[in-house]
Structure 1
Amino acid sequence: MKEFFAYGEKVPGYDVRMLNEREARAAAAILFVGAFLGLTNGVMLGTAVFSEYFVSFFAIDFTMRVIQPRYAPSLLLGRFFVRNQTPEYVGAAQKRFAWALGMILAWPMFYYLVIDFQPNPLKVLVCLICMGLLFFESAFSVCLGCKIFNLVKREKATHCPGDVCEMKIKEPIQRFNPIQKIIVILTAIAMFYGAFAYMTKLPDRTNLTKKMKKIMTSDAELQRIEDEKADQEFENDDF
């Protein structure tokens, strides 16, 4: 019974209980797809039905992860997809802390999207934060919650994904030369500008796009848009 409730798995050669990072990343990718579909359904179709089901699953799943990850549905799905891959072990303690942060975000979202439906930009922002955390974990194996773990816990995390918790010297293939640095910076600028230009030029077809445009556009630009609309309506009235 004690082993049943033990958090993480005993793995020969490791001094702490471990989890399989590969199945955690696979699970994060599955949840990211669900969150993305819920967001696009809300923006494009104006319905939150998919999000309500997904957030319910998300909250239950992360609660299971914190209590006993052996039985968390998304982790079991992730295990199915990576069952033929060599496990990549990660310390269970920091993953539990990171998943606890996800659970703390999940239950308020459940309340405001399922029980007492009150959508607003702040709740959308929380969803985007969750999506960002899932994306970073699935795409780059970067666990931001694990990094916070090291800031608040006296005992530092060990056996992190990619051995980032252990001090080491970067290999030549991991370093950037000056030209590569310039390319990365220009790419990042182009991506941020593209996202900004896209959000500010979207047609005002949903409440979300209206609010996002209002947040990201200057007062002068908003006034110019309103003036153009007024002029267009005046011309239409003349006809």
Structure 2
Amino acid sequence: MAISSDLLASSNTQKERSVGAADPFTAGNRPQTAFVNENQVRAAAGLTMVLGAVAFVYAYFDKVYVPIQVVTTVFFIEFLIRITAGLTYSPIGVLAGWITQRQPPHWVSAKPKRFAWTLGLLMSLAMVIITNSGIRGVLPLTICLICLSLMWLEAVLGLCLGCEFHRVMVRRGWATRDKTIEVCAHGACATESANARTSL
């Protein structure tokens, strides 16, 4: 009887380990803080792209600059919250999470994403200064088109150029690799071994 009890306990332990190994990045459906949901990130990029495109149309075709002044300010606040608190606490991130709540999460490393959001923060800050200073012409047009292109690549193709740039910086020693684990879309980060995953 004692032997059968030991075998049953051992079987249950193996089942628990196998379930944990199937998704090592979650514990009770809650991800590690070092990760973000790629689906939520792409949805957020799509939402920001739509807002930016509408503001761009008003500014470029109708010469109405209030929408782009408001949108760039919203983007600055949005990226600042993402960097400091996380995507799940930003307004657009919350909406993106609601949109993608029925999709299975796809966890990726947050560090390269945070680096990409930092670039977005800098570009949105530049646009806030430019649009509120009355600067018109090629400079704001170029920055706006670059931002829209980056958002489109992230939302539609799942390609994070900021993450790719972060990968290059890591290879050259200009940035440090994520010490917990690096699992990024499109090879933006090197995938660690299964042992490193389960050690989380």
Whether TM-score is above 0.5 comes out as yes
Give distance in 2, aligned partners of 1:138 and 1:164: 16
* Counterpart in the other structure of 1:150: 167
Deviating 4+ runs (over 4 angstroms): none
Distance 2:102 2:71 in 1: 28
Whole-angstrom distance in 2 between the partners of 1:130 and 1:79: 22
In 2 relative to 1, CA 15–65 (structure 1 residues): closer, same or farther, beyond 3 Å?
A: closer
Secondary structure, in 3 states, of the residue corresponding to 2:108? Answer: strand
Q: Which of 121, 141, 160 is the aligned partner of 1:124? A: 141
Q: Tell me the CA shift for residue 140 of structure 1.
A: 0.4
Instruction: Work out whether residues 11 and 18 of structure 1, in 8 Å CA contact, stay in contact via their aligned partners in 2.
Output: no
- Cα distance change, pair 43–15 in 1 and its aligned pair in 2 (3 A): closer
- Is 1:55 the counterpart of 2:72? The answer is yes
What is the aligned partner in structure 2 of residue 71 from structure 1? 89
Q: Which has the higher contact order (CA 8 A, sep 6+)?
A: 2
Q: Whose Rg is larger? A: 1
Deviation track 1:70-110 (CA, whole Å, cap 9, x = no partner) reads 31111111001001110011101111111001111111110
Q: Report the TM-score when normalising by structure 1.
A: 0.61
Percent identity for Structure 1 against Structure 2: 26
Which aligned pairs between 1:24-63 and structure 2 lie closer than 5 A?
Answer: 24-63=41-80
Take 1:40 and 1:20, find their aligned partners in 2: how far apart are those partners?
A: 30
State the superposition RMSD in angstroms: 2.0
CA contact (8 A) 2:163 2:188 kept: no
Pairwise mapping of residues 153-232 of structure 1 onto structure 2 (< 5 A)? Answer: 153=170, 154=173, 155-156=176-177, 158-162=182-186, 165-166=189-190
Relative distance call for 1:16 and 1:27 in structure 2 (3 A) is closer
Question: For residue 183 of structure 2, what is the amino acid of its counterpart?
Answer: H
**Post-superposition shift, 1:44?**
2.2
Partner SS for 2:126: helix
Instruction: Give SS of 1:78's match.
Output: helix
Gaps of 5+ in 2: 1-24, 192-200
